[in-house]
Amino acid sequence: MEGVLRNNKIVRHNAGAAAGTTTITPTAGIDMQGFNTVAFLVLIGTVTSTGVPSIKLQQSDDDGVADGYSDLEGSAFAVTDADNDEVIAVEVIRPTKRYVKCLVLRTTANVVLDGILAILGGAQSLPVTQPATINGKEVFVSPAEGTA
């Protein structure tokens, strides 16, 4: 049976961050073991008029322990102040290393980050078990109309 919650794993990659100009680097990468693809949803908040935020992806064999994170070629994506309250989506299919992370670079003026979600897909084993941080994991198949 198809379904987002049955076939994909959803991970909160990074919490929101108040207005600032520092780079946001998630503490841990997304473990790709058992998955073929990861899509990052970067929720951009308010971008000050001269803010120059961007995102980029990095990968590592061991979550940065002995193999430091390296940029993925061509993964940088520029955002402008016209992108207030928008979602930037970027996906990596079959990365060459086990761990992937998404960084938000904030320069020049304040940028608010509402958070980063990672959706892992192409699971090698179904159904996918969601992490404990995902609440409300109900799935309805062809529900009848009535009281919710």
In a domain, 135, yes or no: no
In a domain, 26, yes or no: yes
Tell me the pLDDT tens digit for each residue of 17-71: 999 999 999 999 999 999 999 999 999 999 998 888 999 999 999 999 999 999 9
The pLDDT of residue 121 is above 90 = yes
- Residue in this structure with the two tokens 């992806």, named with its chain if needed: 57
Q: Which domain holds residue 112?
A: 4-121
Q: What's the rounded mean pLDDT across residues 136-147?
A: 85
pTM of the model: 0.90
The number of folded domains in the chain is 1
More confident residue, 114 or 141: 114
Q: Which two tokens stand for residue 79?
A: 């955002």
In a domain, 93, yes or no: yes
**CATH number of the domain within which 29 lies:** 2.60.120.1110
What pLDDT does 28 receive? 96
Q: What is the mean pLDDT of the chain?
A: 93
SS3 category, 82: helix
In a domain, 56, yes or no: yes
In a domain, 137, yes or no: no
Measured CA to CA, the distance from residue 84 to residue 144 in angstroms comes to: 38
In a domain, 103, yes or no: yes
In a domain, 20, yes or no: yes
The pLDDT of residue 1 is above 70 = no
In a domain, 43, yes or no: yes
- Residue in this structure with the two tokens 């994506």, named with its chain if needed: 77
Write the CA distances from 17 to 43, 62, 119, 134, 146, integer angstroms: 11, 26, 20, 20, 40
The pLDDT of residue 2 is above 80 = no
